Structure 1
Amino acid sequence: MTSPTADAVAPASAARRTPSPLVKMLGLTAGLGVILVVLLMLFVMPSLKSGAHDLPLGIVGSPSDVSQVEAGLAGSAPDAYDTRTFASEDDLRTAIADREIVGGIVLDGTGVQALVASAGSSAISGTVTATAQALAQADGSLAVVTDVVPLPKADPSGIGIGGLAFPLVFGGIVPAVAFRKVFARSLGWAVTGIAAFSVVGGLIVAGVLAFSFGSIAVASFWPVAAAMALGIGALALALAGLQEAFGGKGFTIGAMIMMFVGNPLAGISTTAAWLPGGLGLVGQLLPPGATGTLVRSAAYFGGTGGLTAALTLAAWVAGGILLLAVGARRRAGREAVAEAAEPMPVAVPA
């Protein structure tokens, strides 16, 4: 039997262990402050630290001219470029179109010619142009700029594709929630609904980009639609799988990673090459960044340079389907155990 003294001590001890309102307020304030710092680092630091970092740049010219340019670049823009020598201007143009390099400089003895691809990244093409102009000015000549793969005239800044990050994340989160809730008891219909929305979403985005914004050519409509559909499906199926396998916590963590890591590190407007190396790689491993790369490749480069991104998205789709299957199997097992634990009805004689 518990003594009255022990009964009196227990509530008092519990009261001492309960934090005061002031402590709770200070703890919550500190925790939210840490979250704010993390968000600032994720959303501001990539832009602050972005710039030219080991960008592959081609050079055409005599050995002495090439050596002079490389020395000038090493002094004026250290670590900005990874220079590669090409035998001719045609080879340089082909390498740019194949996305082996971001641009190039041709030295023909009469001046400096810059070859850029604004469709690859306006920021990078502008940097290569500025570099060529600085080289020409130091040599007392003029710089001629040629855009090998230009952006459409209706969207010369590439804003259309550059603004896809948030709609893509939103388009992946919403169907994962909506279809799983509506078809809570039917995993097959939920997956079918997500797949159908992915296709419709891809068609809508490609249609707006092609026929409303003019950000892509009409000929690129179907490739861009397919790339967007794959991206939306990869994100939505992954989140639905996390929810099915790990419940609401799994979905919440996955959605936060996509929104607060995948979104700022996607590099859709500038490409991953413009982000600091490690951050750019992380962004490309997540669906938003991989989708941006694939869409840009499909829209302007005939799919060149998009294979890795497509395989990344396919892996996310496969992972999401695997998680859905594992979660459904676990749920079926729990339901079977619960059903077996229910008492059997006892027949009452009449």
Structure 2
Amino acid sequence: MAALTPLDAAPATVRRTPSKPVLLVGLTAGLGVILVALLMLFIMPSLKSGAHNLPIGLAGPSSAVTQVEEGLDAGAPGAYTTRAFASEAALRDAVLDRDVVGGILVDEGGVHALVVGAGSTAISATISGTAQSLAEKAGTSAEIEDVVPLPESDPTGVGIGGLAFPLVFGGIVPAVAFRKVFSRSLGWAVGGILAFAAVGGIVVAAVLMFLFGSITTAFWPVAAAMALGVAGLALPLAGLQEVFGGKGFTIGAMIMMFVGNPLAGIATGAAWLPAGLGAIGQILPPGAAGTLVRSAAYFGGAGGLAAGLTLAAWVAAGALLLAVGARRTHLLSPSR
């Protein structure tokens, strides 16, 4: 059989590069979509935040509690989910244990609201306003008691409320920096990340206490909570880098920055965010770390168990990824 000549061969597929106008329009449209997504992620949580099914405790005579429930349904529909307690002491314990975000006690003296400024100034202000409204309609007085107030030097909670970006920064940067410096030694890179997490936790606690006055006690619990938060961010990112390379790290960092950061709810409390978004934020390290730091700073650890377990799971996931990456590198390296 005669050999095929070049003319007989099948024509090669020619890849056509889009024209410059098409590239310009496509890139502009793509960046516009990204911009809209960022606006939705960073603005929508705040825009849609508010009192949505906030768990609140009620105490008092059964008839009075029923009237309060009816008043809440009429005056603030959908704002609260109520839970009745047998006594003021039981209600107060539930508030301090963070089982509920606040409470309303009704007795002969009128309406007595228990709010928690250290938990969320937005939520405490909302409960205060609701209690005053209920008292006005009942023709009685309202007493507002902040059972866990913020320190006088930081009455609005700006110190802890502003931790979201430092947390994300503290997780991304060491994962990059230490792996770059110790490019040939994963062990030293991981050691550097853990050392930075510990030092970073101490530094943040020191700034919050001695510069901002945002905390007055619980220095070491706050430092430990912050360190766990940084480790819960940095180790998974480093693990993604080892297993999936730069793309894995980039995707992980973008999720933490553009999803975890705006949905953390550190400034207002996760309960203030829309229910679905708040839950997502608490699954990611920034939100869990913010909750754990606040719990350690003002509540003696109450309400921080789920957040601590979440961060521990992220640390474990990071360690697993790092082990997988190290194993693969060992198998691919030439034998000596």
Question: Would you call these one fold, judging by a TM-score over 0.5?
Answer: yes
* Cα distance between partner residues in 2 of 1:85 and 1:335: 64
Q: Write out per-residue CA displacement over residues 110-131 of structure 1, whole angstroms, 9 at most, x where no aligned residue.
A: 3211110101100000000000
Residue 97 of structure 2 is aligned to residue 104 of structure 1: no
Instruction: Give the letter for the 1:298 counterpart.
Output: A
Instruction: Give the letter for the 2:88 counterpart.
Output: E
Q: 1:253 aligns with which of 226, 251, 254?
A: 251
* Cα distance between partner residues in 1 of 2:304 and 2:60: 30
Question: Which position in structure 2 is the counterpart of 1:25?
Answer: 24
Offset at 1:3? 3.6
Question: Which position in structure 2 is the counterpart of 1:210?
Answer: 209
Normalised by the size of structure 2, how large is the TM-score?
A: 0.96
Question: Which position in structure 1 is the counterpart of 2:144?
Answer: 145
Q: 1:310 aligns with which of 308, 311, 314?
A: 308
Q: Which has the larger radius of gyration?
A: 1
* Cα distance between partner residues in 1 of 2:95 and 2:24: 57
* Cα distance between partner residues in 1 of 2:315 and 2:191: 13
Q: 1:242 aligns with which of 240, 243, 246?
A: 240
Deviating runs (4+, > 6 A) in structure 1?
4-7
Tell me which protein shows more helix as a share of its residues. Answer: 1
Per the alignment, in what secondary structure is the counterpart of residue 14 of structure 1? coil
Question: Which position in structure 1 is the counterpart of 2:327?
Answer: 329
User: More displaced, 106-115 or 239-248?
Assistant: 106-115
* Cα distance between partner residues in 1 of 2:231 and 2:57: 37
Normalised by the size of structure 1, how large is the TM-score?
A: 0.92
User: More displaced, 63-72 or 263-272?
Assistant: 63-72
Offset at 1:333? 1.8
Q: Write out per-residue CA displacement over residues 244-298 of structure 1, whole angstroms, 9 at most, x where no aligned residue.
A: 0100000000000000000000000111111111111111111000000000000
Equivalent residues in 2 for 1:1-350 (5 A)? 2-3=5-6, 14=14, 17-217=16-216, 219-336=217-334
Report the RMSD for the aligned CA atoms in angstroms.
1.6
* Cα distance between partner residues in 2 of 1:2 and 1:287: 64
Q: Which runs of 5+ in 2 are unaligned?
A: none
* Cα distance between partner residues in 1 of 2:243 and 2:44: 33
Per the alignment, in what secondary structure is the counterpart of residue 39 of structure 2? helix
Instruction: Give the letter for the 1:136 counterpart.
Output: A
* Cα distance between partner residues in 2 of 1:211 and 1:126: 27
Offset at 1:14? 2.9
Cα separation, partners in 2 of 1:138 and 1:335, compared to 1, 3 Å: same
Q: Write out per-residue CA displacement over residues 209-254 of structure 1, whole angstroms, 9 at most, x where no aligned residue.
A: 011100011x310000000000001100010000001000000000
Matched length: 333
The answer as to whether partners of 2:60 and 2:88 remain within 8 angstroms in 1 is no
Per the alignment, in what secondary structure is the counterpart of residue 107 of structure 1? strand
Instruction: Give the letter for the 1:14 counterpart.
Output: V
Per the alignment, in what secondary structure is the counterpart of residue 112 of structure 1? strand
